Amino acid sequence: MKVKLTPLNIVSAACLVFGIFILWEQGPEMKRPLPVSAPGLLAGFCLISAAVFFVSDLVFRKFVPSLMKLWAIEGVLIVFMIVLVYILVPHT
């Protein structure tokens, strides 16, 4: 089996590690009266994002055979998502 390291692979791993880190840091000592907390929502968002990035990486790998083109397409997608989030998030 040939292992290909791609940008979406790296981003999905980073989201997965960040989400698990947030859950790990929340720990049992941070008990809240409500079942939903801000760190829990952020961790859930990170884990769901990691799953979406992983699936989209698999789709791109299926339809783009060249590794160089794959890096270019996924890199442009990541830059587009970063710019879109920067535009949509309100700044104070």
pLDDT band at 29 (very low <50, low <70, confident <90, very high): low
Nearest-5° Cα angle at 42, 22 to 36? 100
Q: Tell me the pTM.
A: 0.77
Do 79 and 7 form a contact (C-beta atoms < 8 A)?
no
> Does residue 43 surpass a pLDDT of 70?
yes
Count of CA atoms in the C-beta half-sphere (13 A) of 63: 7
